[in-house]
C-alpha cells in the first residue's frame, strides 16, 4: 500500500523524507518520490523501484526545509517514474502525494482537460493536483478544501505550494493521516512508522478532516473550514515494534486487515438501490454478459479455492454452469473452448506461470479471459482481455490470506451482477447486498475470538495429521484450511468433502488424527452432524467451526470455534478466517518461519 510523509522544520527535508519513506517500505511499494521546497522553488524527484534508487538520484546539494514524500503501490497506471508521486499541477508550483482511489477521476479529468489542463500520468491522483491548482488563489488550505469536496472515493493527501514556504496541507477520507508534533518541526504521515523516530506526540485525523502545518503551529479543521480541536496522543509503541505495523509477522497483519481489505474490494462497486454491482474493468456489454452460458475459472493454490467458491456461487445464484479448474491441468489437456463461455484467471500476484500460460493457451483457442488480480500491471493483468483488481494492498506473507477473501468478494459482486440480469428479484438482490455489506463487521467479530483459537492451536499443534472437512460452499474452505496448515506449520493436512470420508479417508480416523469440521446452518448441516458422529465413534477428535450458540454441534464436538451467523452462501468469509488463524498459531507454536515457509515463494513464476 502507498505511504505518505510530509515534513516542515529546521532540518534538511530530503534526508528526513527519505528516512521516513524507508520506514514505510514494509507496506510494499513499487516506486517512490519526494517534492522539496526551497527559495520559492519546488524540486520533484521520483523513481520506479526501490527507495535506494530514489536516494541515488537526489542531488547532494538539494536543500530545503519542507517537502513531501510518497511510496506508491500502483492501482491506476503502470509502474514507472512518471506515474510515481508527487504529482504537480500545470504551474509546477504545487506538488501532491495521494493514498487511496479516486472513483470519479475520469469525469474530473475530462472537465479539467476541457479547461486547458494537461495531464502527464495515467494515475487517478494527478487530477487532485490539477484541481488544487485550479482553485489556488494565494491560500493553499482553501484550494485543497475546495478540491477535495469534489472527490468521490478515498484519499489521504499531503500538498505543498512553492510560494507558501514551510506549509503543508493534508486531508483525509478513508486513507489514514496522522499529524506529528516535534520540537520546532511538524510532520504529516500515513502511518506513525514514518515519524516515530522524531516524535511520539501525534494527532490522528478522521475522515472529512484537514490539517495545515508549519514548523511551529498546526490547525485541524473540517471541510466547511470550522476548526476542529483534537486531542494530542502519545504513541506507546517503540520503533522496532511497528515495522510490521505493530504485528509480529506480515501474515498476522494481513489476516487482521481483512475487514478493511474486503471493504476495499467492494469499494464503489455496489449499487445498493438497484441491488446490483458494477465492475468497470470487465470490458463487456450488457448483451455480452446476458449471453454468457458458462463460466470457467482457472487458478492455482489459494486462488483456485477462491475460484471454487466463485463457481459454486455463480451456479447457485446466477444459474450459470460454472467450473473451477487448476490452471496447470488446463494448459496440457487441450481444452475445448465453447462459444459464449467466459473464462476467469484468478491470481494474487498476477505472475503465476501455470495460470499465465493456461490463460494464453485458452486465448489462442479464441477464449476471452478476464483477470482477477491483486498486483496492478502484473503479467496476468496485462495479458487479460479485461478484469477486476481486488485492491487488497500488498500481500507479503507467502501464505495467502486477505487475497482469498478479496477474490471471493469480487466473485460475490460478479454473481450479483449476473444474477440480477437473470432470475434474481430486486428483493432477493437487496438481501444479497445487505448480507455482503455486513461481512466486514462479522469478520471483525471472528478476529476478536483469536485468543480462543490460539489456545486451541496450542492444544492441537502436536498432532502430525489433520482432516479438514466441509460441504457445499464450505468445501473449498476446507481445502484452503488444509493448505494453510501444511504450508506454514508443516503439519500434514488433507481437505475433503465431509461426505467423502466414508469412501476412504475414514480409515485414517483414530486418536492420532483430529478432524476439523466446517458447519453452517444450511440444508447440509444434518448430514455433517452425522459425519461428525461417525468420526467421534471411531475415537477421532473433532474441532468444529460453527455458528454461535449451535448446541447440536457443540454437544458432539470436542472443541468449537464459534462464528457469527450469516446467510447460507456467505459463510466462506467467516469460516476461512478461523482456519487462517488456526494455521498461523500452530506455526508460531512450532517455531516456524511463518512469513517465509521453507521451499515456498510468494509468486511462482516457474511451471
Ligand atoms: C497460498 O497460500 C499460496 N502460497 C499459493 O498456493 C498461491 O495461492 C498460489 O501459488 C497462487 O498464487 P497467485 O494467487 O499469486 O497466482
Q: How does pLDDT run across 39-68, given as a tens digit for each residue?
A: 889 999 999 998 999 999 999 999 999 999
pLDDT of residue 176 exceeding 60, the answer is: yes
DSSP 102: B
pLDDT band of 26, cuts 50, 70, 90: low
Q: Is the peptide bond before 86 cis (omega within 30 degrees of 0)?
A: yes
Burial of 4 (0-12, 13-18, 19+ CB in 10 A): buried
Q: Rounded to the nearest whole angstrom, what is the distance from the C-alpha of residue 301 to the centroid of ligand 1?
A: 5
What span, in angstroms and rounded, lies between the C-alpha atoms of 476 and 267?
25
Residue 602 appears among annotated catalytic residues: yes
H/E element, 223: none
Tally: H helices and E strands in the chain: 19, 26
Give alpha helix (H) positions in 79-139. 105-114, 126-135
Give me the DSSP letters along 524-593. THHHHHHHHHHHHTTT--EEEEEETT-HHHHHH-SEEEEE----GGGHHHHHHHHHHHHHHHHHHHTT--
pLDDT of residue 242 exceeding 60, the answer is: no
Mention every residue, 6+ apart, whose C-beta is less than 8 A from residue 562: 449, 546, 547, 548, 549, 550
Q: Rounded to the nearest whole angstrom, what is the distance from the C-alpha of residue 2 to the centroid of ligand 1?
A: 23
pLDDT band of 240, cuts 50, 70, 90: low
**Closest residue to atom 4 of ligand 1, CA basis:** 399
Burial of 167 (0-12, 13-18, 19+ CB in 10 A): buried
Residue 586 appears among annotated catalytic residues: no
pLDDT of residue 25 exceeding 90, the answer is: no
Please count the CA atoms within 13 angstroms of the CA of 178 that sit on its side-chain side. Answer: 22
pLDDT band of 77, cuts 50, 70, 90: confident
**Closest residue to atom 6 of ligand 1, CA basis:** 301
pLDDT at 27: 61
Catalytic residue among 2, 8, 159, 461: 2
Q: Rounded to the nearest whole angstrom, what is the distance from the C-alpha of residue 27 to the centroid of ligand 1?
A: 19
Q: Is the CB of 406 under 6 A from ligand 1?
A: no
pLDDT at 382: 83
User: Percent of the chain, pLDDT > 90?
Assistant: 82
pLDDT at 591: 97
From the CA of 355, give the closest atom in ligand 1: 16
Residues 533-579: pLDDT tens digits?
Answer: 999 999 999 999 999 999 999 999 999 999 999 999 999 999 999 99
pLDDT band of 243, cuts 50, 70, 90: low
What span, in angstroms and rounded, lies between the C-alpha atoms of 479 and 474?
9
What span, in angstroms and rounded, lies between the C-alpha atoms of 320 and 55?
53
pLDDT at 607: 64
pLDDT of residue 196 exceeding 90, the answer is: no
pLDDT at 606: 64
pLDDT band of 290, cuts 50, 70, 90: very high
Please identify which residue in the block is written with the cell numbers 496485462. Answer: 382
Residues 102-128: pLDDT tens digits?
Answer: 989 999 999 999 999 999 999 999 999
Average pLDDT over the chain, rounded to an integer: 93
From the CA of 400, give the closest atom in ligand 1: 2
pLDDT at 237: 64
On whether the CB atoms of residues 347 and 306 are closer than 8 A, the answer is no
Q: Rounded to the nearest whole angstrom, what is the distance from the C-alpha of residue 516 to the centroid of ligand 1?
A: 22
Q: Is the CB of 604 under 6 A from ligand 1?
A: yes
Please identify which residue in the block is written with the cell numbers 471471493. Answer: 408
Average pLDDT over residues 206-213: 94
Please identify which residue in the block is written with the cell numbers 480541536. Answer: 229
Residues 431-462: pLDDT tens digits?
Answer: 999 999 999 999 999 999 999 999 999 999 99
pLDDT of residue 341 exceeding 90, the answer is: yes
pLDDT at 22: 87
pLDDT at 147: 98
For residue 108, give the C-alpha cell.
474530473
In this predicted model, which residue has the larger pLDDT, 430 or 352? 430
pLDDT at 392: 87
What does residue 202 show for φ and ψ, rounded to 5 degrees?
Answer: -135, 160
Q: State which of 249, 255, 303, 477 you would mutate to test the pocket of ligand 1, scoring each by most atoms of that ligand within 8 A of its C-beta.
A: 303
**Closest residue to atom 7 of ligand 1, CA basis:** 301
The total number of residues written for the chain in this structure: 607
pLDDT of residue 235 exceeding 90, the answer is: no
Q: Is the CB of 349 under 6 A from ligand 1?
A: yes
pLDDT at 378: 77
Amino acid at each position: 500500500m502507498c505511504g505518505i510523509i510530509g515534513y516542515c522544520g529546521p532540518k534538511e527535508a530530503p534526508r528526513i523524507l527519505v528516512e521516513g519513506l524507508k520506514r514505510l517500505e514494509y507496506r510494499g511499494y513499487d516506486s517512490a518520490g519526494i517534492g522539496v521546497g526551497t527559495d520559492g522553488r519546488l524540486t520533484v524527484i521520483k523513481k520506479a523501484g526501490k527507495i535506494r534508487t530514489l536516494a541515488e538520484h537526489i542531488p547532494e546539494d538539494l536543500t530545503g526545509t519542507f517537502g513531501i514524500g510518497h511510496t506508491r503501490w500502483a492501482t491506476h497506471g503502470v509502474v514507472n517514474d512518471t506515474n510515481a508521486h508527487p504529482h504537480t499541477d500545470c504551474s509546477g508550483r504545487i506538488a501532491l502525494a495521494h493514498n487511496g482511489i479516486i472513483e470519479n477521476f475520469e469525469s474530473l479529468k475530462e472537465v479539467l482537460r476541457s479547461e486547458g489542463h494537461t495531464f502527464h500520468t495515467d494515475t487517478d491522483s494527478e487530477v487532485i493536483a490539477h484541481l488544487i491548482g485550479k482553485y489556488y488563489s494565494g491560500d493553499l488550505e482553501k484550494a485543497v478544501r475546495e478540491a477535495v469536496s469534489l472527490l468521490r472515493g478515498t484519499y489521504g493527501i499531503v500538498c505543498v505550494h512553492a510560494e507558501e514556504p514551510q506549509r503543508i496541507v493534508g486531508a483525509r477520507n478513508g486513507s489514514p493521516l496522522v499529524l506529528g508534533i516535534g520540537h520546532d518541526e511538524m510532520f504529516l504521515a500515513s502511518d506513525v512508522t514514518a515519524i516515530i523516530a522524531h516524535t511520539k506526540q501525534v494527532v490522528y485525523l478522521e475522515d472529512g478532516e484537514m490539517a495545515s502545518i508549519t514548523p511551529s503551529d498546526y490547525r485541524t479543521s473540517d471541510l466547511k473550514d470550522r476548526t476542529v480541536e483534537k486531542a494530542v496522543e502519545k504513541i506507546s509503541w517503540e520503533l522496532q515494534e511497528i515495522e510490521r505495523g505493530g504485528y509480529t509477522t506480515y501474515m498476522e497483519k494481513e489476516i487482521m486487515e481483512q475487514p478493511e481489505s474486503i471493504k476495499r474490494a467492494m469499494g464503489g462497486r455496489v449499487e445498493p438501490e438497484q441491488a446490483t454491482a458494477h465492475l468497470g474493468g470487465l470490458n463487456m456489454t450488457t448483451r455480452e454478459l446476458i449471453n454468457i452460458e458458462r463460466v470457467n475459472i482457472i487458478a492455482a493454490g489459494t486462488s483456485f479455492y477462491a475460484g471454487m467458491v466463485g463457481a459454486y456461487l455463480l451456479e447457485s445464484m446466477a444459474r450459470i454452469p460454472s467450473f473451477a479448474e487448476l490452471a496447470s491441468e488446463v494448459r496440457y489437456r487441450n481444452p475445448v473452448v465453447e462459444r459464449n463461455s467466459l473464462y476467469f484467471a484468478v491470481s494474487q500476484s498476477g505472475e503465476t506461470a501455470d495460470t499465465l500460460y493456461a490463460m494464453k493457451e485458452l486465448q489462442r483457442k479464441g477464449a476471452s479471459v478476464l483477470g482477477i488480480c491483486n498486483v496492478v500491471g502484473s503479467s496476468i493483468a496485462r495479458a487479460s482481455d479485461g478484469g477486476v483488481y481486488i485492491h487488497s494492498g500488498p500481500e507479503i506473507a507467502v501464505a495467502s490470506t486477505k487475497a482469498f477473501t478479496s477474490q471471493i468478494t469480487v466473485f460475490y459482486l460478479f454473481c450479483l451482477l449476473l444474477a440480477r440480469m437473470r432470475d434474481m428479484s430486486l428483493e432477493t438482490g437487496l438481501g444479497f447486498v445487505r448480507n455482503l455489506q455486513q461481512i466486514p463487521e462479522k469478520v471483525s467479530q471472528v478476529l476478536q475470538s483469536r485468543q480462543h483459537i490460539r489456545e486451541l492451536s496450542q492444544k492441537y499443534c502436536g498432532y502430525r495429521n489433520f482432516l479438514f472437512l466441509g460441504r457445499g460452499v464450505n468445501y473449498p474452505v476446507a481445502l484452503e484450511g488444509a493448505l494453510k496448515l501444511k504450508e506454514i506449520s508443516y503439519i500434514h493436512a488433507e481437505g475433503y468433502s465431509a461426505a467423502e470420508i466414508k469412501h476412504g479417508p475414514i480409515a485414517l480416523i483414530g486418536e492420532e488424527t483430529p478432524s476439523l469440521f466446517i458447519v453452517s446452518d444450511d440444508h447440509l448441516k444434518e448430514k455433517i452432524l452425522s459425519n461428525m458422529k461417525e468420526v467421534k465413534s471411531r475415537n477421532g477428535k473433532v474441532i468444529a467451526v460453527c455458528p454461535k450458540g449451535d448446541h447440536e454441534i457443540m454437544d458432539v464436538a470436542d472443541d468449537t470455534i464459534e462464528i457469527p451467523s450469516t446467510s447460507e452462501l456467505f459463510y466462506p468469509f467467516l469460516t476461512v478466517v478461523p482456519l487462517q488463524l488456526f494455521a498461523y498459531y500452530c506455526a508460531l507454536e512450532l517455531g516456524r518461519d511463518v512469513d517465509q515457509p521453507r521451499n515456498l515463494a510468494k509468486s511462482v513464476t516457474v511451471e
